Amino acid sequence: MIQEEIKVRVLKPSEGHMLTQAADVAIEDRVISDKVFLAVNDVPENWKEITDAEADAIRAGQEEAARKAAEVDSPRVADDN
């Protein structure tokens, strides 16, 4: 039997904050989380804290972008009635 010990780094934001990528990321690809488990090749500097209000604004932007994308992908069909 092989037994391994694995070290996992977990980032948690301060009270009233969330975590998101520090890099400039397209809104539809932006991650917002209350906990990030770092991969072996990830570093804490790749993440930053944002306020809950900023997180809410990003989520609203993501919902709007998804709604617009759905409208483009699914054009309305004319009602012949």
- For the cut 60, the answer to whether the pLDDT of residue 5 exceeds it is yes
**Sequence-distant (≥ 6) Cβ neighbours of residue 48 within 8 angstroms:** 19, 20, 21, 22
Whether the Cβ atoms of residue 22 and residue 36 lie closer than 8 Å to each other: no
Q: pLDDT of 45-70, one tens digit each?
A: 999 999 999 999 999 999 999 999 88
- Any domain includes 44: yes
- Any domain includes 5: no
- Any domain includes 2: no
Question: What is the arrangement of strands in the sheet containing 17-21, beginning at the earlier edge strand?
Answer: 32-33, 17-21, 47-51
- For the cut 70, the answer to whether the pLDDT of residue 28 exceeds it is yes
H-run or E-run covering 34: none
- Any domain includes 78: no
- Any domain includes 1: no
| pTM recorded for the entire structure | 0.79
Q: Which residue range forms the structural domain that includes residue 53?
A: 10-73
Total tally of structural domains belonging to the chain: 1
